Structure 1
Amino acid sequence: MSVASEYLQLQRESTEEMVRRHAPLVRRIAYHLMGRLPPSVDVDDLVQAGMIGLLEAARNYATDRLASFETYAGIRIRGAMLDELRKTDWTPRSVHRKLREVTEVVRQIENETGADAADAEVIRRMGISVQEYHQILADAASARLLSLSAPEDDDDGAALDVADQEGLGPQDRIEQEGMRHALVDAIGGLPEREQLVMSLYYEQELNLKEIGAVLGVTESRVCQIHGQALIRLKARMTGWRDEAGNGERGTGNGGRRREAKATPPSQR
């Protein structure tokens, strides 16, 4: 069904009917988000916020949108859920601090060597145990607030989900588009296994257990790989706004492009 024909069908429905018909989408998105959140987060709170997002999507959908209603509604639903999570940040400040410390060490190693920062070197420089490092990776994978573009001392953040651009001004749209390009380049430079996990999780929407079955590893190992990828992206995106302002768009890592490399043995 084309977007135009779908819109005509939606026009014939009341807002209430549209919300009822697409309610399963809200629960599907909520449970997918729960896969990266701690047990203390109540899925019903996410569903309630998502239903508000669905209601807004039903009221605001228009024919000039290139996306189908389900795609548009999905973005609004995720946005409403993330807004709810931002209001009730459950992540301890100690977790934010450790994530910033690891991110900075990864950034330093990769800038010095021009290669992917290996786990063993990160652990050595930080003076921590393997178990503590793995816990930090798990925190990175589950923490809602691993912003890829916020200032380094900013505890607030944004998720990797594609944002709805409705309401953004021209400058904000340009900045967001620049961030998207920089993020695509940074993801393209991740080790192969980390790229695969990011694709399976964010694009194919598999959960950690399903990704583990695909890769032949445990669910906890997938969580670690996911955390590694997020920290590496955070490190490579550091300062991207300054670089964009200086005409160095496209890398988010000191203005130099990185080539995709095979996964180091220590990360396998």
Structure 2
Amino acid sequence: MYTAKGTLNRDDQLRKYSPLVRRLAHHMIAKLPPSVEIDDLIQVGMIGLTEAIARFEPAQGVQFETFASQRIRGAMIDELREGDWMSRGSRKSQKDIEGAVHRLQQKLHRAPLESEIAKELGMTLVDYQSLLAKVRGTQLVYLEDISGHGDDEDSFLDRHMGETDAEPSAVLQDQRMRTALVAAIKVLPDREQQIMSMYYEHDMNLKEIAAVLGVTESRICQLHSQSIARLRAKLREH
């Protein structure tokens, strides 16, 4: 494991912890738009692992895997930021939709209709559906939630963190979060429940879902984006 100089053997550590890089990349890719390539995350993660090996000091009293995980994920997040994987406009649109859904849920005590969301945003139904299509790739967890540098200091994920330095990946495993998510999915409109089930549980892509439901792929994209907005709005209540 160590060289004659007392440092970690780089090649041995790269071989041993490359599966960790792949595991972290797959965890992160599940929260990101389809435009992000898993191979790109793995490549950047390996660079992060290399840096972790070079910088690790056993005297610090931290396990190498914990230290490396932080470096690997940090490298991936930095790469995503630099690549501007989602424009500021798209992020703002997502948050506007989410805010409208949240306000209507509080007011109506039920899942709002598309037409009601459009009206809340001051838009026509056609313009609202067009906006949903433009924010294609919307996800349950934003990059800001993962990195902890979002505009909202009290994001819904923060409420499920036991400690401020807890691993974000562990947050998503939190039972309260899972329970809240399951409950939120159950109150989605039936068609959106179907889409979420096929997309996340059965790993079907939007084109395949569209074929099963007999609608266009763009319509599935709209409903998927809207479902995510509903879920995030609902989770904020917990």
Calculate the TM-score normalised by the size of structure 1: 0.54
The equivalent residue for 2:87 is 92
How far apart are the structure 2 equivalents of 1:84 and 1:151? 15
The equivalent residue for 2:120 is 125
Q: 1:49 to 1:35 in 2, by over 3 A?
A: same
Q: Residue 154 of structure 1: SS of its match in structure 2?
A: coil
1:48 and 2:46 correspond = no
Determine if contact 1:146/1:230 at 8 Å carries over to the other structure.
no
Q: Which amino acid aligns with 2:200?
A: Y
The equivalent residue for 1:103 is 98
Counterpart pick for 1:37 among 34, 37, 40: 34
How far apart are the structure 1 equivalents of 2:219 and 2:172? 37
How far apart are the structure 1 equivalents of 2:191 and 2:73? 26
Identical positions, percent:
36
Q: Residue 174 of structure 2: SS of its match in structure 1?
A: helix
How far apart are the structure 1 equivalents of 2:202 and 2:73? 16
Q: 1:174 to 1:152 in 2, by over 3 A?
A: closer
Determine if contact 1:188/1:195 at 8 Å carries over to the other structure.
yes
Q: Which amino acid aligns with 1:180?
A: R
How far the C-alpha of 1:188 sits from its partner, in A, is 1.5
How far the C-alpha of 1:229 sits from its partner, in A, is 0.5
The equivalent residue for 1:180 is 178
Q: 1:219 to 1:52 in 2, by over 3 A?
A: farther
How far apart are the structure 2 equivalents of 1:187 and 1:210? 21
How far the C-alpha of 1:138 sits from its partner, in A, is 2.7
How far apart are the structure 2 equivalents of 1:186 and 1:35? 20
Q: 1:49 to 1:212 in 2, by over 3 A?
A: farther
Q: Residue 142 of structure 1: SS of its match in structure 2?
A: coil
Q: 1:220 to 1:203 in 2, by over 3 A?
A: same
- 5+ unaligned residues in a row in structure 1: which ranges? 1-13, 61-76, 160-166, 241-251, 253-268
Determine if contact 1:105/1:122 at 8 Å carries over to the other structure.
yes
Determine if contact 2:133/2:221 at 8 Å carries over to the other structure.
yes
The CA deviation string for residues 95-146 of structure 1, in whole angstroms up to 9 with x for no partner, is 2222222212211212211221111111122222334312332344414527
- Within 5 Å, give how 1:251-266 maps onto structure 2: 252=238
The CA deviation string for residues 217-237 of structure 1, in whole angstroms up to 9 with x for no partner, is 211111111111101011111
How far the C-alpha of 1:43 sits from its partner, in A, is 6.0
How far apart are the structure 2 equivalents of 1:104 and 1:53? 36
Q: 1:123 to 1:174 in 2, by over 3 A?
A: closer
- 5+ unaligned residues in a row in structure 2: which ranges? 1-11, 53-63, 66-71, 158-164
- Over aligned residues, Cα RMSD in angstroms? 4.8
Determine if contact 2:138/2:228 at 8 Å carries over to the other structure.
no
Count the aligned residue pairs: 199
How far the C-alpha of 1:45 sits from its partner, in A, is 1.8
The equivalent residue for 1:266 is none
How far apart are the structure 2 equivalents of 1:203 and 1:235? 21
Q: Which amino acid aligns with 1:178?
A: R
How far apart are the structure 2 equivalents of 1:231 and 1:146? 15
Determine if contact 2:184/2:231 at 8 Å carries over to the other structure.
yes
How far the C-alpha of 1:176 sits from its partner, in A, is 3.2
How far apart are the structure 2 equivalents of 1:78 and 1:187? 28
How far apart are the structure 2 equivalents of 1:94 and 1:168? 30
The equivalent residue for 1:263 is none
The equivalent residue for 2:108 is 113
Determine if contact 2:156/2:235 at 8 Å carries over to the other structure.
no
How far apart are the structure 1 equivalents of 2:199 and 2:73? 15
